[in-house]
Chain A
Amino acid sequence: MTNEELKTTITGLLADASFEEGGEFLTVNVEAGAWKIFASHLRYDESLQFDFLTFCTGIDWKTHLTMVYHLDSYTYHHNIVVKVKLDAAKPEVETVSDIWQTANFHEREVYELFGVNFLHHPDLRLLILEDGWEGRNPLRKDFEDPVNMIKL
């Protein structure tokens, strides 16, 4: 599908979806509460079939966090970017690891580096960082490390 057709289909699924203009990919902003159902539409709807999650990651904007999901479809070769805005104090979003299994590892990484709590994740614990890092999230902008140099 072209980006225009995708836009029409997505507006039909999610009336209050807003689109970002100017980027290379079609970018849609979704509320955290609506993300899980929207994700399963993206994956399983016959005309969409976004079967490949390239990556997902977080961005710390100090006032809030954003989850970014890059999705491709091997069936139709179209792609989309979904952004989900999260609260900085209590970032929570439903997991999508049951829809795209690669999200299991990617969400664990975001959990330890940004402190985002993925609800109903099957195995949410530290992946890369060593024991005792819970609660300290290195990729947050306010993170300070008194021992190791992290800024130049």
Chain B
Amino acid sequence: MYRTTEIISDGTKNPPLEGGEAGDFIINVGPQHPATHGVLHLVITLNGETIKKVEPHLGYIHRSIEKMCESLTYRQFIYVTSRMDYLSSHINNHACAMCVEKGMQIEVPARARVIRILMDELTRIASHELWLGAMAMDLGAFTPFFHTFREREMINEIMEDTCGARLTMNYMVPGGVMQDIHPDFQRKVKDFVKQFQRKIGEMDEIVTGNTIFQNRMKGVGIITREDAISFGCTGPVSRGSGVSSDTRKLFPYEGYENIEFDEVIETGCDSFARYMIRIREMQQSIRIIEQLIDNIPEGDFQAKTKAVLKLPKGDFFQRVETARGQFGVYIVSEGGTTPYRIKFRSPGFSNLSILDHIARGSKIGDLVAMMGTLDLVIPDIDR
């Protein structure tokens, strides 16, 4: 399962054997490994089968998006953010659009706000569906992958109709959304909701209730409440440890305060708790969609904005809840048409930092179960 290559230390930058003892075995997982879901490179120090240290080596897909944004205008830079957490591209775009709107004090029409929330929640379901399939595949079950992709495909089709894209949407712009929803949008979303509710029980039979699956997840990768907060974990990773961290509840935006939904919290602290969070979160997203789909207000889908956007001098911060946790956009403006400095607080970056802490002392076979429930998306970490 693992490529076991011994690293030859050249003694310069990261001497991998530093602090190691005789008998330690060092293996590389990645950068091209199916279980790392991208180009994450882990250098693992083992003693027998027990993990002594996990060292993430990042940067294989680093595109310097923050530097790039410094020469892009406030309309242009949003398109780059779709390429970070590509499974939550709507939500990334949403955060950036809101940050610019906050700086310029643009009032977003009610119709655009509802469309944005609908898109966000559809994205969250699509992301969790992909995670569920990939997670089960990591643990050796191939069938769930096809089941979850069947539902995800329906969402992708809805997105394709309205946004013209299936992955990098670029649909949300400062002031609203780029164009109105497709005439079929409501019908297709309702079809999807029906299909989802009919089939979610199937996943429980195949995966959740499966003894082998439960044995691989329960008691694995324990994150205590204190660690989750100290390591900056957000999203399902921290909510699995009993931290109430949903940005939609803590810092409501775009009208989430008027929508009925529950923040999903588990106190198991292990991989299985994080698994259950995502399953239950999908059902909450369905609940939000059901409330809004028949109540999309009439009106404009975009506010009238100037052709050239200029943010006043100062710094602006906006955070949203993506499928992986808290995503933040921090813009420092000098009053020009481009940001002076931009920082993206990506949830994956902080969630990854706890991997070494939880993996120490456990068996190497459990590492995949831990990484799977951290739900890492590498372009989001490297940026």
Interface residue ranges, A against B (CB under 8 Å): 22-25, 51-55, 57, 59-60, 68, 70, 74, 77, 100-102, 104-106, 109, 125-131, 138-139, 150-152
Q: A57-B343, A128-B62, A139-B67 are in contact. Are A51 and B317 (CB under 8 A)?
A: no
A residues less than 8 Å from B317 (CB atoms): 24-25, 70
On whether the beta carbons of A127 and B315 are closer than 8 Å, the reply is no
On whether the beta carbons of A102 and B64 are closer than 8 Å, the reply is no
Nearest-neighbor residue (CB-CB) of A77 within chain B:
B250
- Bound CA–CA A105/B349 (angstroms): 8
Q: How far is the CB of A12 from chain B (nearest CB, A)?
A: 26
B residues less than 8 Å from A70 (CB atoms): 317, 328, 330, 345
- Bound CA–CA A13/B118 (angstroms): 46
- Residues 300-319 (chain B) with a chain A CB within 8 angstroms: 314-317, 319
- Bound CA–CA A90/B47 (angstroms): 41
Nearest-neighbor residue (CB-CB) of A57 within chain B:
B343
B residues less than 8 Å from A60 (CB atoms): 341
One of A54, A102, A105 near B328 (C-beta < 8 A): A54
On whether the beta carbons of B315 and A105 are closer than 8 Å, the reply is no
Interface residue SS majority, chain B = mixed
Nearest-neighbor residue (CB-CB) of B71 within chain A:
A152
Q: List 19 interface pairs A-B (beta carbons < 8 Å), by A numbering.
A: A22-B314, A23-B314, A24-B102, A51-B229, A55-B328, A55-B330, A57-B343, A68-B315, A68-B330, A70-B328, A70-B345, A100-B230, A101-B230, A102-B230, A105-B350, A125-B13, A128-B62, A130-B59, A150-B64
Q: Does B66 contact A (CB under 8 A)?
A: yes
A residues less than 8 Å from B12 (CB atoms): 131
Q: A77-B250, A102-B230, A131-B12 are in contact. Are A150 and B68 (CB under 8 A)?
A: yes
A residues less than 8 Å from B345 (CB atoms): 54-55, 70
Q: A55-B345, A74-B243 are in contact. Are A152 and B72 (CB under 8 A)?
A: yes
Q: A102-B231, A130-B59 are in contact. Are A24 and B67 (CB under 8 A)?
A: no
- Bound CA–CA A101/B357 (angstroms): 10
Q: How far is the CB of B257 from chain A (nearest CB, A)?
A: 15
Q: How far is the CB of A64 from chain B (nearest CB, A)?
A: 14
Q: A24-B316, A54-B232, A101-B353 are in contact. Are A128 and B341 (CB under 8 A)?
A: no
Q: Does B326 contact A (CB under 8 A)?
A: yes
B residues less than 8 Å from A128 (CB atoms): 58-59, 62, 382
A residues less than 8 Å from B162 (CB atoms): none
B residues less than 8 Å from A138 (CB atoms): 64, 67
B residues less than 8 Å from A129 (CB atoms): 59, 62
- Bound CA–CA A74/B330 (angstroms): 21
Q: Does B170 contact A (CB under 8 A)?
A: no
Scan B67-104; emit 1 where CB is below 8 A from any A CB, else 0.
11001100000000000000000000000000000100
- Bound CA–CA A109/B62 (angstroms): 12
- Bound CA–CA A51/B226 (angstroms): 9
One of A24, A52, A104 near B353 (C-beta < 8 A): A104
Q: How far is the CB of A136 from chain B (nearest CB, A)?
A: 13
- Bound CA–CA A129/B13 (angstroms): 12
Nearest-neighbor residue (CB-CB) of A100 within chain B:
B230
Q: Does B14 contact A (CB under 8 A)?
A: yes
A residues less than 8 Å from B208 (CB atoms): none
Q: Does B29 contact A (CB under 8 A)?
A: no
Nearest-neighbor residue (CB-CB) of B343 within chain A:
A57
- Bound CA–CA A69/B11 (angstroms): 35
Q: Does B332 contact A (CB under 8 A)?
A: yes
- Bound CA–CA A24/B101 (angstroms): 14
**4 more A-B contacts (CB under 8 A) besides A59-B332, A68-B315, A152-B71?**
A70-B330, A102-B350, A105-B349, A128-B62
Q: Does B245 contact A (CB under 8 A)?
A: yes
Nearest-neighbor residue (CB-CB) of B332 within chain A:
A59
On whether the beta carbons of B230 and A51 are closer than 8 Å, the reply is yes
One of B71, B231, B314, B340 near A151 (C-beta < 8 A): B71
B residues less than 8 Å from A125 (CB atoms): 13-14
A residues less than 8 Å from B102 (CB atoms): 24
Q: What are the 10 closest A-B residue pairs judged by CB atoms, nearest first?
A: A102-B232, A128-B59, A55-B345, A105-B353, A57-B343, A152-B71, A101-B230, A131-B13, A59-B341, A128-B58
Nearest-neighbor residue (CB-CB) of B349 within chain A:
A105
A residues less than 8 Å from B72 (CB atoms): 152
Q: How far is the CB of A111 from chain B (nearest CB, A)?
A: 14
On whether the beta carbons of A53 and B232 are closer than 8 Å, the reply is yes
Scan B316-352; emit 1 where CB is below 8 A from any A CB, else 0.
1101000000101010100000001101010001101
A residues less than 8 Å from B349 (CB atoms): 105-106, 109
